[in-house]
Amino acid sequence: MPVGNEDDVNAAVDAAHAAFITGPWAKTTPSERADIMLRIANEIEKRATELSLTNTLENGSPVAETSGAAANAASIFRYFATLAPELEADDVRPFPNGQGESLVRKDPIGVCALIAPWNFPINLMVTKLAPALLPGCTVIMKPASPTPLSFRIIVDAITAAGVPAGVVNLVTGPGRMGDLMVRHPKVAKVAFTGSTPVGRHIAAACGELLRPVTLELGGKSSAIVMEDADLNEMSARLIRSCMRNTGQTCYISTRILAPASRYDEIVNMVTETIATAPQGDPLDPATVFGPSANHAQYKSVLAHLDSAKAEGARVTTGGEPAQLGGELADGLFIQPTVLADVTPEMRVAREEIFGPVITIHKYDDLDDAISLANNTEFGLGGIVFGTDQDKALEVAEAMNTGSVGLNFFASNHAAPFGGRNDSGLGVEYGPEGLAAYLSYKSIHQR
Ligand code: NDP
C-alpha cells in the first residue's frame, strides 16, 4: 500500500468536498442511498473470504474472529439503510404558543474524516462510514498503519455497488495524515476510534476549530460475578466476553470481580478456561489466541506482566512470552495469562493491557463490587454474571459505563455504543449514531 502524504490528504478532501457540493450523491434521496447501501452489503458478503484472510494476515486476528467481519460489516450497512424513512419523514413542530410552526430539516453534515485503529480494521470504519453515507455525507478515511489492506477490499465493494466517484476516499499512511485530515478546513466532522492519548489530541484540535467529533477510545471494563452465577455458563462465554480477539478489544471485561465466598472456585474456572483455549496459527480455524498484532503491542503487554509480578499479583496460568514451534517460532505470542489477587492500585488493574491477560479481584459485597468496577478512568463496557436477572439488572444500572451485558456481551447495531470519561465522547450505532452525521436546520413559518 502507498505511504501517503499531505498532497494525498488534500486531493482526497478536495474530491470529497467536490462530490458533496456538486456531485449527485447529496441530491439523491435517503431511500436511494439506502438501496445503494444494501448493494454494498451484498458486495461485501461476496468478498467474505478475501476480507477474513486479509484481515488475519495483516493483524494476526484469528480467522475464527475475522470470518465474521464481512457479515458484521454488511449487517451495519443494512441496519443504517433501515433508518432512511426517519430522514425522509416530515418533521413539523408547532410553536408552543400556537403561532406558527417549524420545519425541521436533517441535512448531511458535510465532508467527514474517519480514522480507525488496527484491532478491528473493517468493523470500526464501517461503523462510521454507513451512518455518514445515509444522509448524503462524503468521506475521507484513514485506516491504521498496521492494517491498510483489508479496508481496501471494502472500498472495492463500494465501487462495485455504484457509489459515485469522490464520495468515498481512502488514504493510507502514518498517523500524521490523520492529524491533517482532522484539521483540514473543508472537513466538517471527525469520527475516531483509537487510543485515549490520540483521542485527546484530536479533541483539542476539534475544540479549537469548533468541529463536531465522535471519539471511541480505550477501556478497562469489569465483569461482576454475583454469588449465584452459573460458572459453567460463564466459562462458555468467558473468552468472547472477556478475551475476544486475543484480548485486543476495547470493550471486553478484562477485570473479573469475584465474591470472596466463591473466589477460589472462580479463579480455578477462569484459569482452566484460559489455559485450555488453543493458541497458535491465526489461520487455523481452531485457534482462539493468536499473536499480538504488532511488536509495540507485544512489548507493552509483556511490560504489564512484569509490573504485575513486581506488584504482587499471583500468576495462575501463563505470564511469559509463548515459545511456539515451527513456522510460528518467531511469532509475537504471549501465553494467555490469568492474574489473581489483583488490587486496585496495581498498574494492571488501571491500564488497558490489550493482550491475552485477565485480572481477578476479590470483593466482599455487591456495593464493594460496584465501587471496584467504577474505580476506573474509563467507562466503556461491562458484564454482570448472575442467575437472578432482576438483581443483575440492578447491578448493571449502578455501573458507570456506556454498555453492560447480562451474562454475555455483544454490541447491538440498533443501540447506542459509546464510552464515558476517558473512553470517549458521543456514541455510534442506533439513531443516536446517525445523528452525529446530521446538521439540523429549523425553518419557521406562520
Ligand atoms: P491509535 O490511537 O494509536 O491509532 C488510531 C488511529 O489514529 C490510527 O489510524 C492512527 O494512525 C491514527 N493516528 C495516530 N496519530 C494520530 C493523530 N495525531 N491524529 C489523527 N490520527 C492519528 O490506536 P491504535 O491503532 O493503537 O488502536 C488501539 C487503541 O484503540 C486501544 O487503546 C483501544 O482501546 C482503542 N479502541 C477503542 C475502541 C472503541 O470503540 N472505544 C475500539 C477499538 C479500539 P497510525 O496507525 O498510522 O498511527
Confidence of residue 1 (pLDDT cuts 50, 70, 90): confident
> In 3-state terms, what secondary structure has residue 365?
coil
Mean predicted confidence (pLDDT) in 209-236: 98
**Predicted confidence (pLDDT) per residue in 306-343, tens digit:** 999 999 999 999 999 999 999 999 999 999 999 999 99
Mean predicted confidence (pLDDT) in 338-353: 98
Q: What percent of the chain has pLDDT over 70?
A: 100
Rounded distance between C-alpha atoms, residue 264 and residue 278, angstroms: 24
Q: Whose CA is nearest to atom 35 of ligand 1?
A: 194
**Predicted confidence (pLDDT) per residue in 43-54, tens digit:** 999 999 999 999
**Predicted confidence (pLDDT) per residue in 124-150, tens digit:** 999 999 999 999 999 999 999 999 999
Ligand 1 binding pocket, CB closer than 6 Å: 115-119, 124, 142-145, 174-175, 178-179, 182, 193-195, 198, 201-202, 216-219, 250, 352, 354, 380, 419, 423-424
Residue located via cell numbers 505511504: 3
Q: How far is the CA of 143 from the centre of ligand 1 (A)?
A: 9
> Where do runs of H (alpha helix) occur along 337-386?
347-350, 366-374
Mean predicted confidence (pLDDT) in 17-22: 96
Q: Which three cell numbers stand for residue 88?
A: 425522509
Q: Whose CA is nearest to atom 48 of ligand 1?
A: 175
Q: Which three cell numbers stand for residue 381?
A: 463496557
Q: How far is the CA of 117 from the centre of ligand 1 (A)?
A: 4
Q: Whose CA is nearest to atom 13 of ligand 1?
A: 175
> In 3-state terms, what secondary structure has residue 149?
coil
On the question of pLDDT at 23 being above 90, the answer is no
Active site residue 242: no
Q: Whose CA is nearest to atom 15 of ligand 1?
A: 175
Amino acid at 215: L
Mean predicted confidence (pLDDT) in 353-368: 98
Active site residue 216: yes
Q: What pLDDT sits at residue 324?
A: 96
Q: Report the candidate in 431, 437, 443, 444 with the shortest Cα–Cα distance to residue 86.
A: 431
Q: What pLDDT sits at residue 239?
A: 97
Residues 74-90, buried b or exposed e (16+ Cβ, 10 A)? bbbbbbbbebbeebeee
